[in-house]
A = this chain, B = another copy of it.
Amino acid sequence: MYNPPGMNAPVRKHIELMHGYTPGEQPTDVAVIKLNTNENPYPPSPRVLSAIGNITAEQLRRYPSPDARDFRRAAAAVHHVEPEMIMPTNGGDELLALVVRACAGENDRVAYLDPGYSLYPVLANMQAAKPIPVDYEISSQEWRVPKNLGDIDAAVLLIVNPNAPSGTLIDLATLEDIARRFSGLLLIDEAYVDFAPISAISLVARFPRLVLLRSMSKGYGLAGMRFGYGIAQAPLIAELYKIRDSYPCDVIAIAAATAAISDQAYAKAVWQKVIEQRQWMTGQLTALGFGVPESHSNFVLAQVPAGMDAALWYEQLKARRILVRYFNLPRLTDKLRITIGTPQQNEIFIQTMAELKTGMTPPD
């Protein structure tokens, strides 16, 4: 970041000193096999393009529905909750930022499991709050939550489940225990839950300080549209509404997201295909000597075979126009996060990995 001495920036000191979040690479080269930012390999429901095609100039000219009414109703019907329990946002990231701002002031503690979504500490830093990472207990095949996590003293606790970047899942009994014990606001980030066997949605009715995050980016193939939403009890949603923008979702995004969530049959068929490919990828990577904990998401985290260099794998894949995600972060430097692609992309990826391994393994 540009920060010359003596610039006398009018921004607050903690912002001048902080680093922003670095999103994954978004190459413009469409020939790249892009397995780095957890997009769905399949396009959204055909109903989405049809809804977009029906937008009129008159709709563009007028302000959209401030509360994305059509989407709230459609999501409420899918989840069997009231529309007042749904909070549409400009991507799930906006909900995360809102929750942290609502609950954490200067020096307040923002806790999260680590490794997790690397945006969380950045959101805490934006508020001059204290990022409190809580270490996952990582063994070769398992990521475990420390006992009594819910007793932690913090204004906010952020848990992405299934976890990113590991894809591992915290079971419902553990989540319920955390929700019962924790005294601040608990956000369970279910951005990837469409690929998992369980959700914490049954807990919302019982815990007034719980917010679930959902995203249309992964499960519904709409990363380009920026649409997410929160699910929580109505009084908490009403508090969050006070600090959001007046019209966070545009008229086309509302139409697209409503069309997508209303086509559950299409979405479920896509999730099933991704899950099958995830199982195939896990088996192939394991056979190649990688350590892959069981993922319940649309990506896997693969630990490179002992003595090999994950950053080198990343670079060599990139040279062959395959992008995966490498995190230069504690306990992740020996791993690669690989998004599940189409069957064809996955085959090319595994084939390339096998070739690279041959090249990197010294002959016996």
Q: List residues of A whose CB falls within 8 A of some B CB.
A: 1-4, 7-12, 15-16, 18-21, 23-24, 26, 30, 34, 37, 39-44, 48-49, 52-53, 55, 57-66, 90-91, 93-94, 97, 101-106, 119, 126, 128, 155-156, 184-185, 208-209, 217, 221-227, 234-236, 238-243, 245-253, 256
Contacting pair B15 A63 (CB below 8 A): no
Contacting pair A235 B2 (CB below 8 A): yes
Q: Which residues of B contact A97 (CB under 8 A)?
A: 245
Known pairs A39-B63, A60-B221, A91-B247; list 17 more (Cβ under 8 Å): A2-B234, A2-B238, A11-B240, A15-B242, A16-B239, A18-B242, A23-B63, A26-B62, A26-B63, A52-B52, A52-B55, A60-B223, A61-B222, A63-B224, A91-B245, A93-B247, A226-B249
How far is it, in angstroms, between the C-alpha of A285 and the C-alpha of B184 when the chains are bound? 55
Contact of A242 among B19, B52, B91 (CB under 8 A): B19
How far is it, in angstroms, between the C-alpha of A66 and the C-alpha of B25 when the chains are bound? 9
Contacting pair A43 B60 (CB below 8 A): yes
Q: Determine how close the nearest CB of chain B comes to the CB of A262; give it in whole angstroms.
A: 16
Contacting pair A60 B225 (CB below 8 A): yes
Contacting pair B245 A90 (CB below 8 A): yes
Q: Which residues of B contact A227 (CB under 8 A)?
A: 250
Contacting pair A90 B93 (CB below 8 A): no
- Interface residues of A: mostly helix, strand, loop or mixed? loop
Q: Which residues of B contact A9 (CB under 8 A)?
A: 235-236, 239
How far is it, in angstroms, between the C-alpha of A292 and the C-alpha of B225 when the chains are bound? 42
Contacting pair B226 A247 (CB below 8 A): yes
Q: Quick one: closest B residue to A41, CB to CB?
A: B61
How far is it, in angstroms, between the C-alpha of A236 and the C-alpha of B63 when the chains are bound? 30
Of the A-B pairs whose beta carbons lie under 8 Å apart in the complex, a sample of 10, sorted by A's number, is: A1-B239, A10-B155, A26-B62, A39-B62, A43-B60, A52-B252, A57-B221, A61-B223, A90-B248, A101-B126
Q: Which residues of B contact A53 (CB under 8 A)?
A: 53
Q: Which residues of B contact A184 (CB under 8 A)?
A: 10
How far is it, in angstroms, between the C-alpha of A224 and the C-alpha of B155 when the chains are bound? 36
Q: Quick one: closest B residue to A227, CB to CB?
A: B250
Contact of A12 among B61, B105, B223, B253 (CB under 8 A): B105
How far is it, in angstroms, between the C-alpha of A9 and the C-alpha of B233 when the chains are bound? 11
Q: Which residues of B contact A240 (CB under 8 A)?
A: 11
Q: Quick one: closest B residue to A18, CB to CB?
A: B242
Q: Determine how close the nearest CB of chain B comes to the CB of A83; give it in whole angstroms.
A: 14
Q: Determine how close the nearest CB of chain B comes to the CB of A345; give it in whole angstroms.
A: 13
Known: A52-B55, A60-B256, A63-B26. A7 touches B235 (CB 8 A): yes
Contacting pair A40 B19 (CB below 8 A): no
Q: Quick one: closest B residue to A235, CB to CB?
A: B2
Q: Which residues of B contact A59 (CB under 8 A)?
A: 224
Contact of A64 among B11, B226, B236 (CB under 8 A): B226
Known: A10-B209, A239-B9. A224 touches B60 (CB 8 A): yes
Known: A66-B26, A221-B60. A21 touches B246 (CB 8 A): yes
Q: Which residues of B contact A30 (CB under 8 A)?
A: 58
Closest 4 CB pairs of A and B: A43-B57, A20-B242, A10-B185, A224-B251
Q: Quick one: closest B residue to A43, CB to CB?
A: B57
Q: Which residues of B contact A217 (CB under 8 A)?
A: 63
Contacting pair A43 B61 (CB below 8 A): yes
Contacting pair B37 A63 (CB below 8 A): yes
Contacting pair B94 A245 (CB below 8 A): yes
Q: Which of A9, A103, A236, A251 has the most B CB atoms < 10 Å from its CB?
A: A9
